[in-house]
A and B are shown apart, each in its own frame.
Chain A
Amino acid sequence: MLTRRTALFQLSAASLGLALANMPQRRAEAADEIVVGSLLDSTGPINIYGLPMVDATKFAIDDINSSGGVLGKKLHLVQFDAQSNNQLYTQYATQLLLESKVAVLMGGITSASREAVRPVVDKYGALYFYNEQYEGGVCDKNVFCTGVTPAQQIGNLAPWAVQEHGPKFYTLAADYNYGHISADWVKAYLQQAKGELAAQEFIPLDVVDFGSVIQRIENARPNVVFSLLVGGNHIAFYRQFAAAGLNKKIPIVSPTFGLGNEQIVLKPEEVEGLTVIYPYFQELDNETNKKWVAAWRQRYGADYPYITDSANTVWNGWHLWAMAANKAGSLEPAKVIAALESGLSFDAPEGKIRLDPQSHHVVHTVHLAKVNDKKGFTIFKSIENVEPSDTKQVCDLIGKPDQHTQYTPKF
C-alpha cells in the first residue's frame, strides 16, 4: 500500500539518484592550465578516420606542453567520443564550450559533423578548427579548416585521370553533403579537362551490398571509377569490385580512399594500383616527417598500422593554434583569430604549409600516389603549393569579416 511515508521516501531517493547521476565530473582545474577541447569519433563506422586523429591529438598536446605550452601554461585536453553520431557532436560541442569553457575546440570528421558543430561555435563566438579533408567552401570568421580541399585534390586528380586513363568517368559518392558537393566539383573539373561523366551515384553511409552498383558500372564501361565513398561500410565496395574481377579492368581513383586505412583492411591484390592524392603520406621523405614518424612509432608502437593524412592535419591544427595564441599573447578568440590571419607558416610533417589569411584555409603541396603491395602508398607525382582556390575565390574574411556560411559550387 502506498502510504505518504513510502511515497516521500521513494521520491527523495529517486531525485537524489538522478542528481548524483547527472553531476558532472569536474576535475579541479589548476590555475596554470588552459583547457582545450577535442571532439572526434573513436567508435562507429567513422572511427576508421577518427582513431589516428585521436592519437594525433594527444601526441600534439603533449608535444606543445613539452615545448613550453601556450603563454607559459600547460594545455589540459578534454575530449569526447561522438560515436559517429551527429546529435552527440552538437551536444558535446555545447558542453565543451559552456561547461568546460575550452579556449579552442577542434574536431569533427565528416562534413555533416562539422555542420552540426559550426552553428554552436558561431552562437557562442568560440574558435573552432576543422582538421580534415572536405569539400571546401566554409567561410566563417570563427572557423579554420586545415584540411585539403577539392581545388587541391580533385582539381589535380581529375585532369591526371583523364590524361592517364581516359575521359569517361563514373562517380560513386557517399550520400551526404560532402559526397554531393564533391561530386559537383568532379563535374566542374572534369568539364575543364574535357572529360565526360557517364553517371554519378550516391550511396547512403550504411549500405554494404554493392552488387547492383557494380553491375551498372559494368554496363556503363567507364575509363575511370571516381570514388568519393566514405566510412567503414563502404569498404565493402572495393572488396566486391575486386571479387567481380573488375579491379584489373577499370582503374579507381579516389580523394577519400586511404584516409581510413582502407588499404590495410583490404588485401593488396584487391586494391593495388588504386590512385589517391593527399598532402601527406607516411612515406614522405622530408626531415620533419622522418623524425615525426619515428617519434610516433616510439610512442604508439613500431607496429602502428599507418599514419594517415588526417593525423598530420590534426597535428598541424593544434600547432598553428598554439603558435597564434603565443603570438597574440592572449586566448581571446578575436585576438587569436587576428594572429592566425597574420600569415603563419609551419614546418609540418607534410612539409612547409602556409595558413591563408583570407580564406582561413591552408596552402598544401599535394602528391599523387598508388596503393602498393605493402599496405601503404608509392608517391609518383607532386604538385607544389596549391592554393585552396575553391574557397579563396568566393571567400575573403579580411575584406568581409562578418561571414558564417559555406559556399557551394553552382552549375
Chain B
Amino acid sequence: MDQAVATAVGVLFSISTLVLLALGLAIIFGMMGVLNLAQGEFLTLGAYTVLVATSHGLSIWAGILLAPFVVGSIGVILERSIIRFLYGRPLDTMLATWGLSLALVGVMTLVMGPTTEGIATPLGSFEVGRYGVSFYRLVVIAISAGAALATYLALRHTRAGLIARATMQSPHLVAVSGVEPQLVYMATFGAGAALAGLAGAVMAPLTGVVPTMGLAFIAKIFITVMVGGSTVLVGTVSSAGVLGLVESAVSYASTPMYGQVAMLALAMVLLRLLPNGMSGLFRGGL
C-alpha cells in the first residue's frame, strides 16, 4: 500500500515535470510555429536565476518567483532582436535558435563558470509507511498543475488570451481590429520563455546547475511537444501524461535507461499513428 503511494507520487512527479518543461515550448511552437532550439537554455537561465538569488540571501521561493520575470524579459529581448525576422522560415529559425543556444551556453559559462553548482532541496521529507517522500516533489506537482491551469485560464478567459488565439489564427483580421500582431508575438514568445524559466527554477534544487544542463531536457521537451501536437494545453498535458506514465512505470520496474527507451519507443508509435499528435484525438480544445 505504501509502495503504491510512493510510486504514484513518483509517476505524478514524472508527468508534472514533463508538463512544466514542455509548456513553454508548447506555447512558442503550438501558437507561433517557432522551433525554438534554445528552449533548454531558457531553462538553464531560470535555474541560474534561482542560484544567484539564493547566493544573495534571498529564499529559494523568491528565486523561483523571480525566474519567470527574468527569463521572460530575456525572451522578449531575443524575440525583438532575432526571432521576429524569421517568422515563416522554420529552417532558418532552427538554425538561428541553435546558434543562440550555443551562444547562451557560452555566455553562461563565461559569467557563471563551468562548474556544477547546487542548491539544497528545501522542505525535507515525510514517511509513507517505510518510504521517504520528498515534500518538494509535491510542490513541483502543485506548481506544474498551477502553471497549466493559469495558462488555460489566461488563454480562455482573458481578453489578452483571446487576442493571442485570434492572432495565431488570423493575424490580418486582428491587425484590422486595431491590435498590432507583432506585439502579440512578442508577448507570446516572452510567455513561453517565462514558463521555461519557471521550469528551470523549479528543477534547480533537484539536479546540478551547470551551463549545459539544458541538453539533458531539450530532447524530452521537444518529443513531448511534437507528440502533443498543435493544441497548447490539451495536447501537451495528454502527451506528457502518456509519455511520463510509461517512462516512470518502466523506470520503476527496471532501470531509468529502459524508462527512457520505452518513452522514445512510445513517442515513435504515437507519431506514426497520430500525425497531428495527441491533439488529433480531441476535437477543438485549447
Listed in ascending order, the chain A residues whose CB lies under 8 Å from chain B are: 42-45, 47-48, 51, 175, 201-204, 206-213, 215-216, 218-219, 232-233, 235-236, 239-240, 242-246, 249, 265-267, 269-270
Contact yes or no, A240 B256, CB < 8 A = no
Contact yes or no, B116 A265, CB < 8 A = yes
Alpha-carbon distance between A147 and B206 when the two chains are bound, in angstroms: 32
| Residue in A closest to B2 when the chains form the complex, CB atoms | A218
By the criterion of a CB under 8 Å from any partner CB, how many residues of chain B are at the interface?
Answer: 39
Contact yes or no, A212 B259, CB < 8 A = yes
Listed in ascending order, the chain B residues whose CB lies under 8 Å from chain A are: 3, 6-7, 10, 13-14, 109, 114-118, 120-121, 124-127, 130-134, 136-137, 205-208, 210, 212, 216, 248, 251-252, 255-257, 259
Alpha-carbon distance between A51 and B206 when the two chains are bound, in angstroms: 24
Residues of the A chain whose Cβ atoms lie less than 8 Å from the Cβ of B14: 209, 211
Contact yes or no, B116 A232, CB < 8 A = yes
Q: Which one, B115, B132, B137, B259, contacts A48 given CB within 8 A?
A: B115
Contact yes or no, B115 A239, CB < 8 A = no
| Residue in B closest to A175 when the chains form the complex, CB atoms | B257
Alpha-carbon distance between A244 and B123 when the two chains are bound, in angstroms: 10
Alpha-carbon distance between A45 and B130 when the two chains are bound, in angstroms: 34
Q: Which one, A44, A201, A219, A243, contacts B121 given CB within 8 A?
A: A243
Q: Report, nearest first, the 9 A-B pairs whose CB atoms are least far apart.
A: A232-B116, A244-B132, A245-B125, A245-B132, A243-B134, A212-B251, A243-B121, A265-B118, A208-B207
Contact yes or no, B125 A208, CB < 8 A = no
Alpha-carbon distance between A211 and B9 when the two chains are bound, in angstroms: 10
Alpha-carbon distance between A366 and B109 when the two chains are bound, in angstroms: 36
Q: A239-B121, A240-B121, A245-B132 are in contact. Are A45 and B259 (CB under 8 A)?
A: no
Q: A211-B13, A218-B130, A232-B210 are in contact. Are A245 and B114 (CB under 8 A)?
A: no
Contact yes or no, B206 A47, CB < 8 A = no
Q: Which one, A43, A51, A236, A242, contacts B109 given CB within 8 A?
A: A43
Q: A212-B10, A212-B251 are in contact. Are A47 and B256 (CB under 8 A)?
A: no
Residues of the A chain whose Cβ atoms lie less than 8 Å from the Cβ of B207: 208-209, 233, 236
Contact yes or no, B252 A245, CB < 8 A = no
Alpha-carbon distance between A119 and B26 when the two chains are bound, in angstroms: 47
Contact yes or no, A246 B208, CB < 8 A = no
Contact yes or no, B124 A245, CB < 8 A = yes
Q: A43-B114, A212-B251 are in contact. Are A244 and B208 (CB under 8 A)?
A: no
Contact yes or no, A239 B114, CB < 8 A = no
Q: How far is the CB of A284 from chain B (nearest CB, A)?
A: 24
Alpha-carbon distance between A233 and B124 when the two chains are bound, in angstroms: 21
Residues of the A chain whose Cβ atoms lie less than 8 Å from the Cβ of B132: 218, 244-246, 249
Scoring A207, A211, A213, A246 by chain B CB atoms within 10 A of each residue's CB, the highest score goes to A211
Alpha-carbon distance between A324 and B131 when the two chains are bound, in angstroms: 56
Contact yes or no, B127 A245, CB < 8 A = yes
Alpha-carbon distance between A240 and B134 when the two chains are bound, in angstroms: 8
Alpha-carbon distance between A45 and B252 when the two chains are bound, in angstroms: 26
Residues of the A chain whose Cβ atoms lie less than 8 Å from the Cβ of B134: 240, 243-245
Q: How far is the CB of A349 from chain B (nearest CB, A)?
A: 23
Contact yes or no, A235 B116, CB < 8 A = yes
Contact yes or no, B121 A42, CB < 8 A = no
Q: Beyond A44-B212, A218-B131: 18 further Cβ-contacts under 8 Å?
A: A48-B115, A201-B255, A203-B256, A207-B256, A207-B257, A211-B14, A212-B248, A212-B251, A212-B255, A215-B6, A235-B118, A239-B120, A243-B121, A245-B126, A245-B132, A249-B132, A265-B118, A266-B120
Residues of the A chain whose Cβ atoms lie less than 8 Å from the Cβ of B136: 243
Alpha-carbon distance between A44 and B116 when the two chains are bound, in angstroms: 9
Alpha-carbon distance between A208 and B213 when the two chains are bound, in angstroms: 10
25 example contacts (A-B, Cβ-Cβ < 8 A) are as follows A43-B114, A44-B114, A44-B212, A47-B114, A48-B115, A203-B255, A203-B257, A208-B207, A210-B256, A211-B248, A212-B10, A212-B256, A215-B3, A215-B252, A218-B6, A218-B130, A239-B206, A240-B121, A243-B125, A244-B131, A244-B132, A244-B133, A249-B132, A266-B120, A269-B120
| Residue in B closest to A221 when the chains form the complex, CB atoms | B130
Q: How far is the CB of A91 from chain B (nearest CB, A)?
A: 20
Contact yes or no, B256 A209, CB < 8 A = yes
Q: A43-B109, A43-B114, A212-B248 are in contact. Are A233 and B131 (CB under 8 A)?
A: no
Q: How far is the CB of A171 from chain B (nearest CB, A)?
A: 13
Q: How far is the CB of B210 from chain A (nearest CB, A)?
A: 6
Scoring B109, B117, B134 by chain A CB atoms within 10 A of each residue's CB, the highest score goes to B134
Q: How far is the CB of A366 from chain B (nearest CB, A)?
A: 27
Contact yes or no, A265 B248, CB < 8 A = no
Alpha-carbon distance between A245 and B6 when the two chains are bound, in angstroms: 13
Q: A212-B251, A244-B134 are in contact. Are A236 and B127 (CB under 8 A)?
A: no
Alpha-carbon distance between A230 and B248 when the two chains are bound, in angstroms: 23
Contact yes or no, B117 A265, CB < 8 A = yes
Alpha-carbon distance between A208 and B131 when the two chains are bound, in angstroms: 20
Q: Which one, A202, A236, A246, contacts B206 given CB within 8 A?
A: A236
Contact yes or no, A219 B116, CB < 8 A = no
Q: How far is the CB of A235 from chain B (nearest CB, A)?
A: 5
Contact yes or no, B120 A211, CB < 8 A = no
